Structure 1
Amino acid sequence: MSTTAADRGREARRRLLAAAAELIAERGWAAVSTRMLAERAGVAPGVVHYHFASVQALLSEAALAVMHDLIEQAGAGLAHARTPGEALGLMMEFLAAYDGRDPTSLLFAEAYLAAGRDEDLRRSLGGVVAEFRRALAGRLAEHQVPAPDATAAVIAAAIDGIMLHRALGPGPDAADLTAVLRRLVAPTEPRPSTKEQ
Structure 2
Amino acid sequence: MTSSATRDRLFAAAIELIAERGFTATTVDQIAERAGVAKGTVYYNFGSKAALFDSLLEFGIGRLATALRDAAEGREPLAALEAIVGAELEFLGAHDAFARLLIAETWRRGGDWQHAATMIRERVIGTIADVLRTAVETGRLRPDLDVGTAASAVFGMVLAVAMDWRALQPDRPRKEVESTLLDLLRGRLTSL
Task: Specify if TM > 0.5.
Answer: yes
State whether residues 64 and 124 of structure 2, in contact with CA within 8 Å, keep that contact through their aligned partners in structure 1.
no
* Structure-to-structure mapping, 1:51-90, within 5 angstroms: 51-84=45-78, 86-90=79-83
1: CA distance between counterparts of 2:135 and 2:21?
Answer: 43
Deviations 1:135-185 (A, max 9, x none): 22222222223322232122122122212322442487321220111239x
State whether residues 24 and 59 of structure 1, in contact with CA within 8 Å, keep that contact through their aligned partners in structure 2.
no
State whether residues 52 and 58 of structure 1, in contact with CA within 8 Å, keep that contact through their aligned partners in structure 2.
yes
> Pick from 94, 99, 106: which aligns with 2:97?
106
Asked if 1:183 is matched to 2:187, the reply is yes
The size of the alignment, in residue pairs, is: 175
2: CA distance between counterparts of 1:173 and 1:13?
Answer: 33
SS at match of 1:31: coil
State whether residues 15 and 97 of structure 2, in contact with CA within 8 Å, keep that contact through their aligned partners in structure 1.
no
Cα shift at 1:109: 1.9
2: CA distance between counterparts of 1:165 and 1:179?
Answer: 17
CA RMSD after TM alignment:
3.0
Cα shift at 1:12: 4.1
Cα shift at 1:79: 2.3
Q: Percent identity among equivalent residues? A: 23
Structure 1 pair 63/96, CA: closer, same or farther in 2 (3 Å)?
Answer: same
Q: How high is the TM-score relative to the length of structure 1?
A: 0.71
Cα shift at 1:48: 2.0
Asked if 1:38 is matched to 2:32, the reply is yes
State whether residues 60 and 121 of structure 1, in contact with CA within 8 Å, keep that contact through their aligned partners in structure 2.
no
Structure 1 pair 75/10, CA: closer, same or farther in 2 (3 Å)?
Answer: closer
Which structure has the bigger radius of gyration? Answer: 1
Amino acid at match of 2:152: A
Cα shift at 1:47: 2.8
Q: How high is the TM-score relative to the length of structure 2?
A: 0.72
Amino acid at match of 1:70: L
Structure 1 pair 156/93, CA: closer, same or farther in 2 (3 Å)?
Answer: closer
State whether residues 133 and 156 of structure 1, in contact with CA within 8 Å, keep that contact through their aligned partners in structure 2.
yes
> Residue 190 of structure 1 aligns with which residue?
none
Structure 1 pair 36/57, CA: closer, same or farther in 2 (3 Å)?
Answer: same
Gaps of at least 5 residues in structure 2 are none
